[in-house]
Chains A and B, each alone.
Chain A
Amino acid sequence: MLSHGMKQTGHISIHHLQGVILAILNPWVALGIVLLLAFFAAYMSALSWADLTYVLPATSLGYVLLAMVARFALHEHVSLLRWLGIVLISSGVGFVAGGPALTLHGQHEPLVPAELPDEVLVAEDEEPVVASAASSGGQR
């Protein structure tokens, strides 16, 4: 969306910085910025209850989604190599989603079942964390 909007806005020269303000007024650019902020909020909230090595691979599903949109909505050609990339990313995310979400300070902890909130691990003075692989799907 940012790319679409900026292409509508046209070239911005360093000597005409008011062009940047005009660009923000473009609805596509504004929507793109709002979505970026939403991504950042979701990313931070995911980091508050899950490991970085858990969240980061999960966010890469965005690349897969992007390729799907390019293929099915924009009817772009997606090469075999890119399909292979999609398969690799998806299997990587599948790998990490099967394990525990939080493994702070090198502790060996089992995957905590969601039905037993009393037995969740309390890492230092944090809130109890219930590992839930399913809820990572919504976080980009």
Chain B
Amino acid sequence: MKHFYTWSGIGLVVFFSVVGDVLMSRAMKEVGDVHELVRSAGVWTAVGRILSKSNFFLGVTAMALTFFSLLFALSWGDVSLVAPASSSLTFIGSAFAAKVFLRERVDRRRWVAASLVAAGVALLAA
């Protein structure tokens, strides 16, 4: 039963983290290149443009939920399992989500990169 709780906690962390990243990425793609925007219209226009995107606030909410679900997961399971599992599964999950929801072209190079990074993070945090 403890395993079930731990892995549901990890699942929640990964879910909210991926949702947050996808929403944030979508919001920033709507805004456009921030460097160009700051250069042409100034910092405050760029900040205003970002703050006008609902996806930005949804993304921030999802990121806050990631943090709270991490706290729950840590209270249910050991940090040596929860930390590496959630952070490395996030890399794989966001590659899937980017392909499906953001229509990014995730080629073999990027799959390999996401898997290598996920494995590396798991080893580092283990």
Contact = CB atoms under 8 A, between A and B. Distances in A.
Contacts of A57: 91, 113-114, 117
B79 interface: no
Q: Which of B21, B32, B116 has the most CB of A within 10 A?
A: B116
Contacts of A82: 123-124
Main secondary structure of the interface of B (DSSP, over half): helix
B121 to A, nearest CB: 6
Given A47-B28, A51-B104, A52-B104, A92 B117 contact: yes
A49 B33 contact: yes
B22 interface: yes
Interface of B: 21-22, 24-25, 28-29, 31-37, 50, 91, 94-95, 97-99, 102-107, 109-110, 112-117, 119-126
Interface of A: 44-45, 47-49, 51-57, 60, 63, 67, 81-82, 84-93, 95-96, 98-99, 103-108, 125-129
